[in-house]
Amino acid sequence: MRKISVIGVGYVGLVTAACFSDLGNTVTAVDVDEKRIAGLKRGEMPIYEPGLEELVKRNVEAGRLTFTTSYKKALKDCEFVFICVGTPSGVDGEADLKYVESAAKSIAKNMQAALIVINKSTVPVGTGDWVAEIISAAQPKPIDFWVVSCPEFLREGAAISDFMSPHRTVLGSLHREAADKVAQLHLPLRAPIVITDLRTAEMIKYASNAFLATKISFINEIADICESLGADVKEVAAGMGFDPRIGKHFLEAGLGYGGSCFPKDVKALAFMAQEMGHEPRILNSVMTVNGLRRQHDRR
Ligand SMILES: NC(=O)c1ccc[n+]([C@@H]2O[C@H](COP(=O)([O-])OP(=O)(O)OC[C@H]3O[C@@H](n4cnc5c(N)ncnc54)[C@H](O)[C@@H]3O)[C@@H](O)[C@H]2O)c1
């Protein structure tokens, strides 16, 4: 069994730490939020997620899961470190990477032996290369490390079952051996594993969320047209959903997409496209339709 550190004990980090420890690994989870760590040491969950409290309790009691604010303790004898810090929207819609930067610097300063650094935060394409540069520049003395992207696809409210039974695991790295080692960690999840390069893995996460948001905006636009033409959008969606090429998920007309990921991820992808001189026509329309839908529902 492996020794793993997880950085950031929010939704993704706490679930990752609890699930990997339940699979038999030894996991130390580190956060800069002292209150959060003190609460976890007392068995208090910072978030509500079905089954999480029991999972954490079981693995803490078994000695497989510990919490700390010390990177030094967390990285001692550690082979794998997962970055799971937040990447909120910046002022122009770009992903704000200040927490990722700070986590990368702290890893660099506290790592004591060769390490695989796995990024689970949703980050713009190219961030893996940037994290590698930050770590190299901030290390007091050179120690080998390899960066792997492993985007997370869990949904809040179903986080543990999504983590334990994913539809796929995506891994991206320029170092095949490092990606293979991370793949080994995920084998007990028995899901297909896609191994690709860093940038492609980072893009798979954004493209997946943007596609689901597009489906939601699409059915909402159809709902508006249905309303004008006297058709029932619920039945339209049900009728469409039987076609496996379309699928029934994310085809429910309503308020539009929201939550902690879709709005920021669609914006961040559109920002990345614009930065590279592409006009993200579909993404812009998806965001416009989503905004109008909310106004429509307030009428
Ligand atoms: N929440 C979801 O449903 C979900 C799903 C898939 C992917 N993601 C992505 O995963 C990432 C994390 O999301 P989340 O919802 O878990 O965030 P969160 O805000 O719930 O948790 C982030 C945690 O990181 C900690 N942190 C910040 N800087 C730190 C540092 N330098 N060192 C140690 N800890 C630090 C914070 O104190 C906090 O506890 C984001 O990029 C998000 O887009 C989230």
- What is the set of domains in the chain, with CATH numbers? 3-196 (3.40.50.720), 203-298 (1.10.1040.10)
- Average pLDDT value for the chain: 96
Pairing of strands 145-149, 169-173: antiparallel
Q: What would the pLDDT profile of 126-144 be if each residue is shown by its tens digit?
A: 999 999 999 999 999 999 9
| Residue in the block written with tokens 């796995």 | 118
Is 298's pLDDT higher than 90? no
Reduce the DSSP state of residue 286 to 3 states and report it: helix
pTM: 0.96
261 in catalytic set: yes
For a mutational test of ligand 1's pocket, the pick from 12, 131, 266, i.e. the residue with the most ligand atoms closer than 8 A to its C-beta, is: 12
Q: Which residues contact 233 (CB under 8 A, 6 or more apart)?
A: 219, 222, 223, 226, 227, 253
Q: What would the pLDDT profile of 180-195 be if each residue is shown by its tens digit?
A: 999 999 999 999 999 9
Nearest to 206, CA basis, from 138, 266, 132: 266
pLDDT band at 293 (very low <50, low <70, confident <90, very high): confident
Q: How far is the CA of 30 from the centre of ligand 1 (A)?
A: 12
CA dihedral 72, 78, 79, 85 (to 10 degrees): -50
Q: Kindly give the number of the ligand 1 atom that is closest to the alpha carbon of 261.
A: 43
Pairing of strands 115-119, 145-149: parallel
